[in-house]
Amino acid sequence: MSYFANTPTPPYYAVIFTSVRSEGDNGYEKTANRMMELAEQQPGFLGAESARDKLGINVSYWTDLASIKNWKANAEHLDAQKNGRKLWYKSFKTRISKVERDYEL
C-alpha cells in the first residue's frame, strides 16, 4: 500500500490545508470521510495525502484551478467549511500551489 497520491507528470495543483483541531470529535471524523469520498468524485481530483499530530496537514491534488474552485463551491463542502470554522478547528490555513516538478527517491 502506498501512502502517496498517484499524481501525473506535472504540472498540476496542490491545495495544502493545515489545521489545529478543537477538542472533541463533534462529527468531524464522519464528515472528513465523507469529504474525501466526495472529493474523489469531483472532476479534476487527482488524490490526497494527510497526516495529523498536533498540526494536521492535508494536501489534495488537482488538475487545474477551475477544479479547485468547483470543489470549494460544492454544497456539502461548503457546509463542512462552516462547521470547521464553528466546531472543529482552533485555527487553519489553506494554500494553493502549482506543482512544477516531483520526484521519488
Q: What is the CATH number of the domain that holds 26?
A: 3.30.70.100
Q: 17: closest CA among 87, 69, 92?
A: 92
Q: Is the pTM of this model over 0.95?
A: no
Determine the structural domain holding residue 30 and report its residue range.
12-99
Q: For residue 105, tell me if it sits in a domain.
A: no
Q: Name residue 48's beta-bridge partners.
A: 60
Instruction: Find the mean pLDDT for residues 61-81.
Output: 96
> 1 pLDDT exceeds 70?
no
Q: For residue 104, tell me if it sits in a domain.
A: no
CA torsion through residues 48, 49, 51, 57, sign:
negative
Instruction: Find the mean pLDDT for residues 90-98.
Output: 97
Predicted local distance difference test score (pLDDT) of residue 66: 98
100 contacts 13 by C-beta, under 8 angstroms: no
How much is the mean pLDDT over the chain? 94
> 81 pLDDT exceeds 80?
yes
Query: How many structural domains is the chain composed of?
Result: 1
Predicted local distance difference test score (pLDDT) of residue 24: 86
